[in-house]
């Protein structure tokens, strides 16, 4: 059924494409938000990615690959946006979003704060890799396909991102222990 929608949209059926957006939108928005950590920018990125998807949909060779294809488009749009934003706010102090301050049985507010800070220090590509890995459950080979780089590169960047997040947790914990901050 979804394949029929994709094929119809490939042939210019706007209503079919809007139906696809309804079906896939939540998941895509969630991915965009998790890469960009900002609702408004995630919304803008999703809109841009979907318009590009509509424009280029006739070039999709296998309609069954629609999900992977649109995730790839979205990832590239988010990486571009995050790169611009990263340059713009490089010197600004980052505050944790309000919606992450809720009590949690696994993560303390302080840990969330540290993870958020650590995540924002990663490159846009590393953020995207973490989201594809931990939110969508992609394997490194699938991430490699989505981002157009080798699986080896993905494993290397995943390892680096992993270490950076670990270091962010540890460093900020140490800084907190001696009464400092590393904003």
Partner 1 sequence: MNERSDIDRLLRHWIDDGPSTMPDRVIDVVADRISTQRQRRPWRQPWSEPMNLILKGAAAAAAVIVLIAAWNLMPRAPDGAGSPSASPGESPAPTTAPSSSASPSPTAGGFACDDPAFSCAGVLAPGDHTTIAFRPALTFTVATGWVNTLDRERALTLHDNESPGHFFQIMSQVAIPEQNEECSAARRAGVGNSVADWQAFLVGHSGLTASSPQAIDVGGHEGIRIDVRVADDWTGSCPGSLGPAVVLITDSGEPPSRARWIDDQRTTLRIVDVAGETVILYLETSPSPADLAAVNAELQPVIDTFRFAPPG
Q: How far is the CB of 39 from partner 1 (least distance, A)?
A: 6
Site for partner 1 contains 135 (CB under 8 A): yes
Q: Which stretch binds partner 1 (CB under 8 A): 88-96, 127-135, 149-157, 174-182?
A: 127-135
The answer to whether the beta carbons of residues 172 and 182 sit under 8 Å apart is yes
Residue closer to partner 1 by CB (options 52, 175) is: 52
DSSP code string of 10-70: HTT-HHHHHHHHHHHHHHHHHHHHHHH--HHHHHHHHHHHHHHHHHHGGG-S-GGGHHHHH
130 binds partner 1 (CB under 8 A): yes
If one asks whether residue 175 binds partner 1 (CB under 8 A), the answer comes out as no
Regarding 58 and contact with partner 1 (CB under 8 A), the answer is: yes
**Residues 124 and 86 sit within 8 Å (Cβ to Cβ):** yes
Interface with partner 1 includes 17 (CB under 8 A)? yes
The encoded tokens of residue 71 equal 């995730």
Report whether 147 contacts 69 (CB < 8 A): no
| Interaction residues for partner 1, span 96-115 (CB under 8 A) | 99-100, 104, 106-107, 111-112, 115
Q: Which of 148, 156, 157 is nearest to 126 (CA)?
A: 157
Q: How far apart are CA 88 and CA 164, in angstroms?
A: 22
Helix, coil or strand: residue 91: coil
Interface stretch with partner 1, choices 38-46, 85-93, 149-157, 173-181 (CB under 8 A): 38-46
Binding site for partner 1 (CB under 8 A): 11-12, 14, 17-18, 21-22, 25-30, 33-34, 39, 43, 46-47, 50-52, 54-61, 99-100, 104, 106-107, 111-112, 115, 130-131, 134-135, 148, 162, 165-166, 169
């Amino acid at each position: 059924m979804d394949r029929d929608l994709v094929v119809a949209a490939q042939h210019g059926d706007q209503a079919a494409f809007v139906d696809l957006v309804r079906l896939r939108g939540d998941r895509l928005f969630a991915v965009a938000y998790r890469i960009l950590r900002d609702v408004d920018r995630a919304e803008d990125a999703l809109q841009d990615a979907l318009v590009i998807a509509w424009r280029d949909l006739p070039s999709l060779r296998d309609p069954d690959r629609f999900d992977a294809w649109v995730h790839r488009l979205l990832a590239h749009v988010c990486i571009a946006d995050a790169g611009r934003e990263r340059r713009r706010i490089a010197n600004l102090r980052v505050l944790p979003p309000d919606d992450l301050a809720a009590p949690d049985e696994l993560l303390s507010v302080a840990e969330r704060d540290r993870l958020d800070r650590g995540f924002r220090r990663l490159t846009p590509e590393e953020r995207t890799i973490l989201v594809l890995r931990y939110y969508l459950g992609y394997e490194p080979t699938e991430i490699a396909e989505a981002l157009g780089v080798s699986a080896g590169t993905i494993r290397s960047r995943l390892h680096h991102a992993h270490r950076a997040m670990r270091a962010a947790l540890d460093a900020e914990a140490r800084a907190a222990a001696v009464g400092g901050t590393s904003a």
